[in-house]
Amino acid sequence: MTEDSLDGGAPGFRARSGWTRAQASGIERTDETVAPVFYPPENDQIPHVHIWDTWFLRERDGTLAEVEGYRVCFSLTAPADLLPGKRHDVATIRCFYSADGRNWHDAGPVFEEALGQRQWAGSALYDDGSVYVFYTAAGQDDAEELTYAQRIVGAGGGTIDADGGFALRGPWTHHELLSPDGERYEREDQSRGMIYTFRDPWFFEDPETGETWLLFEANSPVPEGSDACDGDVAQQEFNGSVGVARSPTGDPLEWELDDPLLDAVGTNQELERPHVVYRDGRYYLFVSSHLHTFAPGLEGFDALYGFVAEDFRGEYVPLNGSGLVVTNPENAPFQSYSWMAFAHGDEVLVQSFFNYFDFAGPVLDDIAHLSEAEQMRRFGGTLAPTLRLDVDGTRTRIIGKLGHWEIPMAGESLPPTEAELIRRA
């Protein structure tokens, strides 16, 4: 698709990189991309809440932060007795901490008050002794009904107090950082398909240039009458993009919208929780996406997809040809979601949440037809086992897994993989 073909005469922006239908039509399960089947953990460490999207407190350079001997994560949470499908409507960000990367403890809800009706995913930065939490304010603050408006917010002012236990304290100040401009990023009133997206902020400092970026999930406006996707309106409605804003000064609370990094017009509507892992001089861009958000005529999975470029703003090409990096087994297609990759020595580790297990239905909506007891029984609502990935240029390969909630710090050695053990025997 060329620039001309997208805008159909109206103003329009094209990301330099695109995830094309031709590339996505190559998506298929392979030995390298299918995760092993997971089982529920023997004991749920945090039984009182359901946990899904999760992110770690990180330093400006992306490494996991260790503060006073603790590693720290943030998760979207909902009461454990709530039906899983309802969790997005009440999502609250909680903080968890661990001294060993295996046993985690609940430090409670992060904010007493936050913007939006509920909070969706984000990222967290530890900078000069201060904690910043970036999140999505979902819903209009004072509306009576639940709404789906989305804004990107940064909360500053957090500190960690680890004298005699762990506490994350405010007072927090919440700053509305970004909302869609309607030109590069679709506003709610422009959306012609599924619900628009403008969410999931993720902090990234470019190690080569020192520039500071905030990535987010968005959609590219495709005006009516546009000849994008050869004018096929049904395909145009699937217009996911990876948005990005730049902080001219490096200040984590000051951002200016920039052109999208990548879009998937005609291919997929939701490029969720975009994030970048820098390794071997390359930029690996990862997103999560769903089976049901691929445009008509394409078949994908609930999966982690990835792209690689030589520069942060360079031309991204899909990993493994199609973009598929990690998916669920065919007989458990919804067992994990919302993957987050991070560098660990020679490997890349991938954390996600344990979603629906013992469930092989064709579409996620089928879950609503199960009895409430069955929906509850089949929902993991906790962190999944961490996956180990070998990344080599444009190819990736799952090489093993760690335990549920197992999050090693850089420098902590990993056990040999199964393949290594077989080779040694």
Site membership for ligand FRU, residue 51 (CB under 6 A): no
Does 263 bind ligand FRU (CB under 6 A)? Our answer is no
Of 186, 205, 272, 302, which lies in the binding site for ligand FRU, with binding defined by CB under 6 A?
272
Q: Shortest CA distance to 7 belongs to which of 188, 216, 263?
A: 263
Of residues 9 through 48, those in contact with ligand FRU by CB under 6 A are: none
* Angle subtended at Cα 410 by Cα 404 and Cα 413, rounded to the nearest 5 degrees: 70
- Single out the residue of 49, 73, 76, 242 in contact with ligand FRU (rule: CB under 6 A): 76
Q: Report the C-alpha gap between 409 and 423 in whole angstroms.
A: 26
Residue 136 within binding range of ligand FRU, rule CB under 6 A? yes
Using rule CB under 6 A, residue 355 touches ligand FRU: no
Residue 367's contacts (CB-CB under 8 Å, 6 or more residues apart) are 84, 85, 356, 359, 361, 375, 378
Cα separation of 165 and 163, whole Å? 6
State yes or no: residue 290 binds ligand FRU (CB under 6 A): no
Q: For residues 268 and 184, what is the distance between their CA atoms, to the nearest angstrom? A: 17
Q: Site for ligand FRU (CB under 6 A): which residue of 121, 304, 308, 367?
A: 121
337 binds ligand FRU (CB under 6 A): yes
CA dihedral for 222, 226, 230, 235, sign (positive or negative): positive
Q: Nearest-CA neighbor of 154 among 75, 254, 52?
A: 254
Q: How far is the CB of 351 from ligand FRU (least distance, A)?
A: 13
Chain-centroid distance of CA 397 in Å reads 20
Q: Which is nearer to ligand FRU, 8 or 85 (CB)?
A: 85
Interacting residue with ligand FRU among 21, 35, 53, 342 (CB under 6 A)? 53
Binding status of residue 338 toward ligand FRU by CB under 6 A: yes
Smaller CB separation from ligand FRU, 76 or 177:
76
**Cα distance between residue 220 and residue 226, in whole Å:** 12
DSSP secondary structure letters along 38-83: ----SS-SSTTEEEEEEEEEE-TTSPBPEETTEEEEEEEEEETTS-
Residues 299-328 that bind ligand FRU (CB under 6 A): none
Backbone angles phi, psi at 293, to 5 degrees: -105, 5
Cβ-based nearer residue to ligand FRU, 33 or 338: 338
Active-site annotation, residues: 53, 272
To ligand FRU, the closest distance from the beta carbon of 239 in angstroms equals: 16
Q: Which residue is nearest to ligand FRU (CB)?
A: 120
Write out the residues near ligand FRU by the rule CB under 6 A: 52-53, 76, 88, 91, 120-121, 136, 199-200, 217, 272-273, 337-338
